[in-house]
């Protein structure tokens, strides 16, 4: 067994996109046909090796390999084990194009479902277990391990999604047969681990974040049997069972698993209390997730050292690694490119590279004493204190204990809205944003660089709105949208408009595939000072007799897709955002806009992994949404939109939002929410999303007729 001798630095995963999003640009170049497969593979290898080398230079000792991906790590795992649906198995396609087809779809095969990776804004491709014959196509963690050693001289830590998480997050008509599927997949994992150990891998990181959720006794018995078989078959492999995003409800069972090391999150949840109460095995290594891998603010290093001291009193010397709480996939690469941020904010920021420096500082302090890094700790502390001192944040006096409500119940509102809007029984609309073409992006860049005037930019936006209002009318849509051509991103745009936010220049984070977003930073009291969306929507409405929707992003989504400092109360910030949005909603209504959509695609995203903590989260989310939307007149129709979520277990919360219309994605999830609405007496309006806007291929969903039948039954 491999034994540590000192505190060791480790990383769980590194951002794929590159400092300048070169990963994104390489992929999109290939998809456009501007790059060959050989050229793409070579370019991505260069990016991958640069990332490894950078971690080495930053002093990380256990560097992950295999965390890099051409698209998504769950897709990688499925592809490695030949979990390839039959609709993608074409002899005419290359291996790489088959891989991309699963993620993006083709003319004759709808893409695999995409959904959120636990409670993050990262989307993974959902493996499909129907009609497959699993096998090990290629040991990709082994290939990555050997490449890192050969090209960089790095004896890396191979990373793989564990069998429990992989299977629990997969789908199929027999996906619930966990025991049967494990009997198929355990031998494949054994082969992967055996080949890695034979190649000299000292540690193998097996990611099992599913263990932080509420699992049944029967499932834990299967987990115990699974890891017993794995370790008995490959006793020479040192498995690090890595969890993250929360503490472990079944901590006592976790620490009894026959693995060499366990990775725990010491930022979210309270794993420290579990260790103090139940101890930690003396024969296991603890990979302690000390630094927040999901936020962008500097850590209080002294408080982190205090946690390490507490862990040291419980765990034998030499058995502790220090690492981020999760993969750094969820934060930008480096702050060094930022040149326009306020200096106080800049100094308090900590992106992926800076977080790894925090890790090595903590290791240095623990191994050689705080005095060895005294200046670094002092500068860190001063920067954090300066930032928090300048942050003006107060509880909002308008927040009350009672739940905000509309003036009339839905049944009465609906009558007024039907009279006012005169829509057909099955109205058609789009979710909101229309194509952000190269011309739109190029013109926006010119405007930001002051190469064109404000007037010229506004004229261009108006031309785009007019063009697309005309297109929508020609298509005979019933409720139109202005297209959002003035917006970069559905959250970043509001971060630029509301007081209390600031926006970075290069703080990109991967959302799905090559899609990257730039979450704004919450740095003070959130306040509405002027209209943000009214001008464009009112102009669009002036061009048509049909209703045009006002389009806003909801308070929960804005919070979840922004970076707020841990010292701030989530509920307080969320309510401030909601009250700011309320002013925009009322301004739209006063301007004559009768349908206002307040999108909450991230409603579920901040949901704790432990179900016992759900009620408090949902109560706060519903309250914030209602603060933003409840003051309108009964005849004003409030819409909301959600996507890529499991709806069956949050149905009551969806209903509690009291939106008049909810639009839900039903294309890429293959219509699975139908059963939820069949089993529940949902009385409000439902907008069914039947076209996958994330696929480059047009697909009409086969179950559209079934959905419409459900809707018609509700109306009868």
Which positions make up the binding site for L-methionine?
A: 431-433, 484, 599
Euclidean distance between CA atoms 352 and 330, whole angstroms: 9
- Joined tokens for residue 458: 């506004």
Question: Is 602 in contact with 560 (CB distance < 8 Å)?
Answer: yes
Residue 686, Ramachandran bin (φ over 0: left; ψ between -120 and 50: alpha; else beta)? beta
Question: Residue 167: beta bridge partners?
Answer: none
Euclidean distance between CA atoms 268 and 292, whole angstroms: 8
Euclidean distance between CA atoms 221 and 225, whole angstroms: 6
**Neighbour-count burial of 697, counting CB atoms closer than 10 A to its CB (0-12 exposed, 13-18 middle, 19+ buried):** middle
Euclidean distance between CA atoms 398 and 616, whole angstroms: 20
Give the count of alpha carbons within 13 A of 191, CB side only. Answer: 12
Nearest to 485 by CA among 473, 468, 472: 468
The question of whether 694 is a catalytic residue gets the answer yes
153 Cβ contact partners less than 8 Å away, ≥ 6 residues apart: none
Q: Calculate the alpha carbon distances from 622 to 402, 436, 552, 576, 686 in Å.
A: 12, 31, 16, 14, 18
Q: Do the strands 509-512 and 521-527 form a parallel or antiparallel pair, or are they unpaired?
A: unpaired
Q: Which one-letter DSSP state was computed for residue 659? A: -
Euclidean distance between CA atoms 91 and 649, whole angstroms: 40
- Joined tokens for residue 548: 């045009």
Give the helix/strand (H/E) hosting 597.
strand 595-599
Euclidean distance between CA atoms 110 and 128, whole angstroms: 13
Nearest to 410 by CA among 663, 634, 680: 634
Residue 439, Ramachandran bin (φ over 0: left; ψ between -120 and 50: alpha; else beta)? alpha
591 Cβ contact partners less than 8 Å away, ≥ 6 residues apart: 534, 537, 538
Residue 159 backbone dihedrals phi, psi, to 5 degrees: -120, 135
| Binding site as annotated, residues | 24, 121, 431-433, 484, 515-516, 561, 599, 641, 643, 665
Task: Exactly one of 330, 380, 482, 694 is catalytic; name it.
Answer: 694
| Binding site as annotated, residues for 5-methyltetrahydropteroyltri-L-glutamate | 24, 121, 515-516, 561
Nearest to 207 by CA among 231, 248, 170, 240: 240
SS3 for 131?
Answer: coil
- List, by residue number, the catalytic residues: 694
């Amino acid at each position: 067994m491999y034994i540590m001798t000192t505190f060791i630095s480790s990383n769980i995963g590194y951002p794929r996109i590159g400092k300048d999003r070169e990963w994104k640009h390489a992929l999109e170049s290939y998809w456009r046909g501007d790059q060959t497969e050989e050229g793409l593979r070579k370019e991505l290898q260069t990016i991958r090796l640069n990332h490894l080398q950078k971690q080495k230079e930053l002093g990380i000792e256990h560097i992950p390999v295999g965390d890099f991906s051409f698209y998504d790590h769950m897709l990688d795992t499925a592809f490695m084990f030949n979990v390839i649906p039959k609709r993608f198995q074409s002899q005419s396609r290359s291996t790489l194009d088959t891989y991309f087809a699963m993620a993006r779809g083709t003319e004759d095969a709808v893409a695999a479902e995409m959904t959120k990776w636990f409670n993050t804004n990262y989307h993974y491709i959902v493996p499909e277990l129907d009609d497959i014959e699993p096998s090990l196509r290629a040991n990709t963690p082994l290939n990555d391990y050997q490449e890192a050693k050969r090209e960089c001289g790095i004896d890396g830590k191979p990373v793989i999604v564990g069998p429990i998480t992989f299977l629990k997050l997969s789908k199929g008509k027999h996906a619930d047969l966990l025991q049967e599927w494990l009997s198929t997949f355990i031998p494949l994992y054994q082969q992967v681990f055996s080949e890695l150990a034979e190649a000299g891998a000292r540690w193998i990181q097996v990611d099992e974040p599913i263990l932080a959720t509420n699992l049944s006794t029967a499932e834990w018995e299967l987990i115990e049997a699974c890891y017993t078989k794995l370790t008995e078959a490959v006793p020479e492999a040192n498995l690090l069972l890595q969890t993250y995003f929360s503490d472990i409800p079944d901590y006592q069972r976790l620490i009894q698993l026959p693995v060499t090391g366990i990775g725990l999150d010491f930022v979210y949840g309270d794993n420290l209390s579990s260790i103090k109460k139940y101890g930690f095995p003396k024969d296991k290594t603890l990979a302690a997730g000390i630094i927040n891998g999901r936020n962008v603010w500097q850590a209080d290093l002294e408080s982190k050292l205090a946690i390490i001291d507490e862990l040291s009193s419980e765990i034998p010397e030499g058995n502790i690694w220090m690492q981020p709480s999760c993969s750094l996939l969820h934060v930008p690469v480096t702050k060094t490119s930022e040149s326009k941020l306020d200096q106080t904010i800049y100094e308090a920021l900590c992106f992926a590279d800076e977080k790894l420096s925090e890790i090595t500082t903590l290791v240095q302090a623990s191994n050689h004493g705080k005095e060895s890094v005294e200046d670094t700790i002092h500068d860190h502390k001063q920067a954090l204190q300066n930032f928090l001192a300048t942050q003006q944040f107060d509880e909002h006096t308008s927040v009350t204990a009672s739940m905000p409500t509309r003036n009339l119940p839905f049944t009465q509102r609906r009558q007024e809205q039907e009279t006012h809007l005169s829509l057909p029984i099955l109205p058609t609309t789009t979710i909101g944003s229309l194509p952000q073409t190269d011309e739109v992006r190029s013109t926006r860049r010119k405007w930001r660089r002051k190469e064109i005037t404000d007037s010229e930019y506004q004229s261009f936006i108006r031309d785009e709105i007019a063009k697309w209002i005309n297109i929508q009318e020609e298509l005979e849509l019933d409720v139109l949208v202005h297209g959002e051509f003035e917006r970069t991103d559905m959250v970043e745009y509001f971060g630029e408009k509301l007081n209390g936010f600031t926006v970075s220049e290069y703080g990109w984070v991967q959302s799905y595939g090559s899609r990257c977003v730039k979450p704004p930073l919450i740095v003070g009291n959130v306040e509405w000072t002027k209209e943000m969306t009214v001008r464009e929507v009112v102009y669009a409405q002036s061009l048509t007799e049909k209703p045009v929707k006002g389009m806003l992003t909801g308070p929960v989504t804005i919070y979840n897709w922004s970076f707020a400092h841990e010292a701030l109360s989530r509920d307080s910030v969320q309510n401030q955002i909601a009250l700011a949005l309320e002013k925009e909603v009322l301004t739209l209504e006063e301007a004559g806009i009768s349908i206002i959509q307040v999108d909450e695609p991230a409603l579920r995203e901040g949901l704790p992994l432990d179900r016992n903590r759900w009620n408090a989260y949902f109560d706060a989310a519903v309250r914030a949404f209602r603060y933003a939307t409840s003051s309108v007149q009964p005849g004003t129709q409030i819409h909301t939109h959600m996507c890529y979520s499991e709806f069956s277990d949050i149905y009551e919360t969806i209903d509690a939002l009291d939106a008049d219309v909810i639009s839900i994605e039903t294309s890429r999830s293959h219509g699975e929410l139908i059963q939820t609405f069949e089993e529940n007496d949902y009385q409000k309006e439902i907008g069914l999303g039947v076209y996958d806007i994330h696929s480059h291929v047009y697909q009409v969903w086969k179950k559209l007729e079934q959905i419409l039948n459900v809707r018609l039954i509700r109306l009868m």
